[in-house]
Structure 1
Amino acid sequence: MANTSSCTSSTYDNSSSSSSCSTTTITTAKRQKHHHHHNHHHQDDPLLIPGLPDHIAQLCLSSINPSLLFKVCHSWRRLIYSPSFPPFFSLYAILSPPKSHHNSHSIQLHNFDPISNTWHILPPPPPQKPPLHHILLHHPSFLSRNLSVQSISVSDNLILLAATTHNLTPALSHPLIFNPNEGWSIGPALNTPRRWCALGTSDNVVYVASGIGSHFSIETAKSIEKWDLINGTNWEKKAEMKDGRFSREAVDAVGWRGKLCMVNVKGDAAKEGVVYDVEEDTWKEMPEGMLLGFRGPVAAMEEEVMYVVDEAKGIMSRYNPEDDVWEEILVSQRLKGAEQMVAKRGRICVVSAAGISVVDVVAEPPRITVVELPEGFEAVAVHVLPRMPVTDFSVQK
Structure 2
Amino acid sequence: MRSATSKITTPTTTTTTTTTTTAMNTSPKRCKYQYCATAAADDSHKLTDSNNESTLLPGLPNHLAQLCLCSLHPSLLHRVCRSWRRFIYSPSFPPFFSLYTLLSSKSPLPEPKNQDQDQNQLNPFQFFSLDPISSTWRRLPFPPSDPLLHLLHRHPSFISRTIPIQSLTVSGRLVLIAATGHQFLPALSHPLAFDPISSQWFFGPPLPTPRRWCAVGSAGGSVYVASGIGSHYDSDVARSVEKWDMKKKKIEWNWEKMASLKDGRFSREAVEAVEYRGKLCMVNVKGHAVKQGAVYDMEKNRWENMPEGMIGGWNGPAAMGGEDRLYVVDEANGVLSKYDSENDSWEEVVDSPEILRGAQHITAGGGRVCVVCGGGERIAVVDVVATPPRIWVVNPPEGREVVAVHILPRMNLPEW
**TM bin (shorter chain):** over 0.9
Match of 1:143 in 2: 159
Deviations 1:326-385 (Å, cap 9, x if unpaired)?
011111121111111111122111111151122111111111232221112111111111
**Shift of residue 242 of structure 1?**
0.7
SS in 1 for 2:21: coil
1:219 paired with 2:236, answer yes
Match of 1:241 in 2: 261
Match of 1:336 in 2: 357
Choose which of 180, 183, 194 in structure 1 pairs with 2:196. 180
Q: For residues 79-228 of structure 1, what are the structure 2 equivalents within 5 Å?
A: 79-102=87-110, 106-129=124-147, 131-132=148-149, 134-182=150-198, 183-228=200-245
Match of 1:53 in 2: 61
The one-letter code matched in structure 2 to 1:24 is Y
In structure 2, relative to structure 1, the CA distance for the partners of 1:146 and 1:303 (3 Å cut) is: farther
**Shift of residue 283 of structure 1?**
1.0
SS in 2 for 1:375: coil
**Shift of residue 318 of structure 1?**
1.0
**Shift of residue 166 of structure 1?**
1.9
The one-letter code matched in structure 1 to 2:242 is E
**Shift of residue 98 of structure 1?**
2.2
Choose which of 75, 79, 92 in structure 2 pairs with 1:71. 79
TM-score, normalized by length of structure 1? 0.93
| RMSD value, Cα | 1.9
SS in 1 for 2:403: strand
Give the Cα–Cα distance (whole angstroms) in 2 for the partners of residues 239 and 46 of structure 1.
56
Give the Cα–Cα distance (whole angstroms) in 2 for the partners of residues 195 and 235 of structure 1.
16
**Shift of residue 304 of structure 1?**
1.4
The one-letter code matched in structure 2 to 1:54 is N
Equivalences, count = 387
In structure 2, relative to structure 1, the CA distance for the partners of 1:105 and 1:309 (3 Å cut) is: farther
Q: Is the 8 A contact 1:311 1:337 kept in 2?
A: yes
1:349 paired with 2:361, answer no
The one-letter code matched in structure 1 to 2:257 is K
In structure 2, relative to structure 1, the CA distance for the partners of 1:30 and 1:392 (3 Å cut) is: closer
**Shift of residue 96 of structure 1?**
1.3
Deviations 1:204-258 (Å, cap 9, x if unpaired)?
1110000100001001001000011112510001111111111111000011111
Deviations 1:256-302 (Å, cap 9, x if unpaired)?
11111111110011111111111111111111000011111111114
**Shift of residue 303 of structure 1?**
7.1
Match of 2:401 in 1: 378
Match of 2:16 in 1: 5
Relative contact order, higher structure (CA 8 A, sep 6+): 2
In structure 2, relative to structure 1, the CA distance for the partners of 1:77 and 1:136 (3 Å cut) is: same
**Shift of residue 388 of structure 1?**
1.0
Q: Which moved more, 1:294-303 or 1:273-282?
A: 294-303
| Structure 1 gap segments, 5+ residues each | none
Q: Is the 8 A contact 2:274 2:319 kept in 1?
A: yes
Give the Cα–Cα distance (whole angstroms) in 1 for the partners of residues 412 and 25 of structure 2.
15
Give the Cα–Cα distance (whole angstroms) in 2 for the partners of residues 342 and 364 of structure 1.
20
Q: Is the 8 A contact 2:33 2:70 kept in 1?
A: no
The one-letter code matched in structure 2 to 1:75 is S
1:388 paired with 2:396, answer no
Deviations 1:136-195 (Å, cap 9, x if unpaired)?
101222232211100001111100000011210000000001001321000000111000
SS in 1 for 2:37: helix
Give the Cα–Cα distance (whole angstroms) in 1 for the partners of residues 97 and 308 of structure 2.
36
Match of 1:360 in 2: 383
Match of 1:39 in 2: 47
Give the Cα–Cα distance (whole angstroms) in 1 for the partners of residues 67 and 123 of structure 2.
47
The one-letter code matched in structure 2 to 1:196 is W
Q: Is the 8 A contact 1:107 1:137 kept in 2?
A: no
Identity of aligned residues (%): 53
Give the Cα–Cα distance (whole angstroms) in 1 for the partners of residues 195 and 297 of structure 2.
28
Give the Cα–Cα distance (whole angstroms) in 1 for the partners of residues 258 and 30 of structure 2.
35
Give the Cα–Cα distance (whole angstroms) in 2 for the partners of residues 213 and 35 of structure 1.
46
Q: Is the 8 A contact 2:47 2:87 kept in 1?
A: no
Q: For residues 295-314 of structure 1, what are the structure 2 equivalents within 5 Å?
A: 295-302=315-322, 304-314=324-334
1:321 paired with 2:332, answer no
Q: Which moved more, 1:288-297 or 1:359-368?
A: 359-368
